[in-house]
Amino acid sequence: MPSRFFVTGSDTNVGKTVVSAMLCAALDAVYWKPIQTGSREGTDRMTVMRLAELPKSRTVREKYLFTPPVSPHLAARLAGVRIDLRKIVAPKLAAEENLIAEGAGGVLVPVNRRQLMTDVMKRVRLPVVLVTRTALGTINHTLLSVAALRAARIDLRCVVMVGKPNKENQKAIEHYGAVAVAGTLPHLRRLDRRTLVRAFDTHFEKALFRE
């Protein structure tokens, strides 16, 4: 079975894109971000292509692309459009291909007047990897995100932490959230395919990323 996951976060700017790049590099996966805001600062697809050294052919174009760096529901409203989840369909890939899909913002970010990022996850039907910080405050943010995912009956595969390793926070999340922490991506001096693959090989439980 191929390894295919949806990467979400406990907050915005928590490290989802770097983790997505790491997983694309380590799993030799195709990258897809169905909804992108803040494109005036560049897209996450471009960032993943650069970090994971992916050719454009190993990425899928965004279904919705907005310029302002704001929540998807607001970006769409400012553009005079409505994000229609019926138009968000997982890409058709060869049976053996791996896929990393990345959400926009956190778990409960709204995408239109009625639907949230959790509805996007249910739409694409991929197991979820939750990215969160290691720093103070992460226990609360992570457990709230875990609770929201479970309330939506979403398949939460694991948590990935980003930052300076913090064993106590990791143990608390695993205990109170009853969820596996696959590993911690530390701050890296260089961000390129080689260092990301090395970080995955060194710091992560690889079995959690196999279907």
- Other CB atoms within 10 A of residue 28 CB: 14
Please tell me whether residue 136 adopts helix, strand or coil conformation.
Answer: coil
For residues 159 and 132, what is the distance between their CA atoms, to the nearest angstrom?
A: 7
Of 176, 137, 184, nearest to 159 (Cα)? 184
The enclosing domain of 202 has a CATH number of 3.40.50.300
For the chain, the domain total comes to 1
Euclidean distance between CA atoms 59 and 21, whole angstroms: 11
Domain limits for position 195: 4-209
pLDDT tens per residue, range 11-63: 989 999 999 999 999 999 999 999 999 998 899 999 999 999 999 999 999 99
Say how far apart CA 63 and CA 41 lie, in whole Å: 18
- What is the average per-residue pLDDT within 92-98? 96
Q: Evaluate if residue 152 carries a pLDDT over 90.
A: yes
Torsion of CA 79, 84, 91, 1, to 10 degrees: 130
d(CA 132, CA 139): 9
- The CB density around residue 199, as the number of other CB atoms within 10 Å, is 21
Bridge partners (DSSP) listed for residue 51: none
d(CA 60, CA 90): 10
Is pLDDT at 1 greater than 90 in this prediction?
A: no
Q: What is the mean pLDDT of the chain?
A: 97
- List residues with catalytic annotation: 33
* Whole-prediction pTM: 0.97
